[in-house]
Amino acid sequence: MANKGTLFIILLISTILLLAGCGSSKDSNSGSSENTFKVGLEAGYAPFNWTQNDDSNGAVKIDGSKEYAGGYDVEIAKKLAEGLGKELVIVKTEWDGLVPALASGKIDAIIAGMSPTAERKETIDFSDNYYTSNLVMVVKKGSKYEGATSIQDFKGAKITAQLNTFHYSVIDQIKGVDKKTAMDNFPAMRVALESGMIDGYVSERPEGVSASAANENYLMVEFEDGFKTSADDTAIAVGLKKGSESTDKINEILKGISEENRTSIMDTAIKNQPAAQ
């Protein structure tokens, strides 16, 4: 009986050690995430970010997909990952899912043409700005709105913008506008514009340039008398978890990207965007 008892104890200890070994192996694998910089973006907001089929022009593979992401945001993300000494991982995420993904730890940062609005600042932190842009209207070429110089020229027009963005709220500044339901993304708005469902949509200048370059039927309208916005509304910054330890380092890296370099990166992104986007 004593021998059997001793054997049982030895087997029990061996089993515990084996399980512990398995556990530590799993932990070491999961720890590899410390070496990655997981960035969330839509990959559908050219020239800030888009989806393409290969790695041309420096595009980065989208996590869990055969597709790649390119654009201004991706280039900024690459510089940040390099500065942080981490491997960049692009996580394609719907706009509405970006903040929840950050909160849950699915991503480490939002680099998606996102403005650091007061409302968002209640939930997440932001880096210093990495781009600043003015608001424009994208319309169909040949429409009665293509010569507009003031937002008030859009009285009676069917106008929309992306869901859960300040772009949608500024539409209320147009007197007598026919404000349509907000849409999930920019490709959907371009389709709506093409079909005549809307007369125009509010966007930022780079996307407006991108839209008119991608489709000869689109035209970007810039205003002499435009939308009233705050500095935070027209700025673009990196979204980070509240109290993130990476914020200071990211700001330091961003300071090293000159205004001239940022303009060059954006001009290249506009030139390289896929025609469909």
- Please report whether residue 11 resides in a domain: no
DSSP helix, strand, coil percent of the chain (3-state; round to 5): 45, 25, 35
CATH at residue 210: 3.40.190.10
- pLDDT for residue 133: 85
Average pLDDT rounded to a whole number, residues 77-100: 97
Average pLDDT rounded to a whole number, residues 101-128: 96
* Better-scored residue on pLDDT, 1 or 143: 143
* pTM, to two decimals: 0.76
200 & 250 share domain: no
54 & 166 share domain: no
CB atoms within 10 A of CB 234: 18
- Please report whether residue 159 resides in a domain: yes
- Please report whether residue 13 resides in a domain: no
Q: Which of 235, 247, 248, 242 is nearest to 122 (CA)?
A: 242
Average pLDDT rounded to a whole number, residues 212-216: 89
- Please report whether residue 140 resides in a domain: yes
217 & 252 share domain: no
Average pLDDT rounded to a whole number, residues 262-272: 92
72 & 160 share domain: no
Tens-place pLDDT, residues 127-175: 999 999 899 999 999 999 999 999 999 999 999 999 999 999 999 999 9
173 & 205 share domain: yes
pLDDT band at 241 (very low <50, low <70, confident <90, very high): very high
What is the total count of domains within the chain?
A: 2
Domain with 194 in it: 135-221
Asked if the peptide bond before residue 47 counts as cis, ω within 30 degrees of 0, the response is yes
